[in-house]
C-alpha cells in the first residue's frame, strides 16, 4: 500500500510485537513533547474498556473499513489478526501536519515498513524489542486485555514480528522502563534539533 499524500512533515514510527511496550513509550512521549501528535488509526476490532472513539482509534464496522479501502482513504492498512484490520488514514496524516505536528505512530511491523516506503525522507522508525520472547509473553498476559484466543494469536504473530527488527532505523530494547523512556526522549530531542 502506498500513499499519494504529499510529504510536508515528519513521522516518528514506533513498531514492535504486541506487548513490547510501544503504547507505554508513545504515551510518555506525548505527555512530554507538545510538538508530537498521535496518529489515531482506524480499526475493526471492538474497543477495550476505557478506549475512546477518535482518541485511541476510529472504531469502524467491517463495511465502513471496506468502504474506506475502496475510496483509497488509507496510507496503509493490514489485517493484523484474522478479521481485525487496522489502518492509517491519509486524512489523519494531513490533519496533523496541518497543525504542524510531528506525527507519532504505534503500528505493527508491516504497516511501519509500508509507511517508511511511502514517506522515505520524512520517517524515523524505531523497533521496540522485548528483552526476550518469554518476557514479552509474560507482559502480554499480565496486561490482561486479551481473552485466551486473542492472546494465542498475538503470541503466534509475535515470533514473526521479532524477525523484522533489523529493517528499522533504531532498535530499542525495552528492559528497564526508565532507561527506555529516556532513550526515547533522546530520539525525539534529536528530531527537534534538526527541525
- The footprint of ligand ADP (CB under 6 A) covers 16, 18-24, 139, 142-143, 174, 177, 180
> Is 92 a residue that touches ligand 5GP (CB under 6 A)?
no
Calpha distance 86→81 (Å, rounded): 9
> Is 28 a residue that touches ligand 5GP (CB under 6 A)?
no
- Residue 73 or 84 with smaller CB distance to ligand ADP: 84
- Residue 6 or 131 with smaller CB distance to ligand ADP: 131
Closest contact distance (angstroms) between CB of 65 and ligand ADP is 21
Closest contact distance (angstroms) between CB of 45 and ligand 5GP is 5
State the CB neighbour count (10 A cutoff) for residue 36.
20
Calpha distance 51→147 (Å, rounded): 17
Closest contact distance (angstroms) between CB of 135 and ligand 5GP is 17
- Residue 139 or 157 with smaller CB distance to ligand ADP: 139
- Residue 143 or 189 with smaller CB distance to ligand 5GP: 143
Question: Which letter, b or e, does each residue of 54-71 get, where b requires 16 or more Cβ atoms within 10 Å of its Cβ?
Answer: eebbbbbeeeebeebeee
Which phi and psi (to 5°) does residue 152 adopt? -60, -45
Partner interacting with residue 172 (select from ligand 5GP, ligand ADP, none; CB below 5-8 Å by kind): none
36-65 residues in contact with ligand 5GP (CB under 6 A) are 41, 45
Residue ranges in contact with ligand 5GP by CB under 6 A = 18, 22, 41, 45, 76, 78, 80, 86-88, 106-108, 111
Amino acid at each position: 500500500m502506498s500513499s499519494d499524500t504529499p510529504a510536508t512533515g515528519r513521522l516518528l514510527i514506533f513498531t514492535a510485537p504486541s506487548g513490547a511496550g510501544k503504547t507505554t513509550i508513545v504515551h510518555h512521549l506525548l505527555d512530554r513533547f507538545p510538538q508530537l501528535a498521535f496518529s489515531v488509526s482506524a480499526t475493526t476490532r471492538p474497543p477495550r474498556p476505557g478506549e475512546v472513539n477518535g482518541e485511541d482509534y476510529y472504531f469502524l464496522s467491517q463495511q465502513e473499513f471496506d468502504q474506506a479501502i475502496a475510496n483509497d482513504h488509507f496510507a496503509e492498512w493490514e489485517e493484523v489478526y484474522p478479521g481485525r484490520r487496522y489502518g492509517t488514514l491519509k486524512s489523519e496524516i494531513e490533519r496533523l501536519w496541518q497543525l504542524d505536528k510531528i506525527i507519532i505512530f504505534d503500528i505493527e511491523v508491516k504497516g511501519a515498513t509500508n509507511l517508511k516506503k511511502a514517506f522515505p525522507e520524512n520517517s524515523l522508525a524505531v523497533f521496540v524489542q522485548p528483552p526476550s520472547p518469554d518476557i514479552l509473553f509474560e507482559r502480554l498476559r499480565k496486561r490482561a486485555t486479551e481473552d485466551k484466543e486473542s492472546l494465542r494469536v498475538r503470541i503466534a504473530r509475535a515470533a514473526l514480528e521479532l524477525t523484522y527488527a533489523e529493517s528499522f532505523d533504531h532498535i530499542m530494547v525495552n528492559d528497564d522502563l526508565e532507561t527506555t523512556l529516556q532513550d526515547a526522549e533522546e530520539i525525539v530531542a534529536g528530531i527537534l534539533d534538526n527541525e
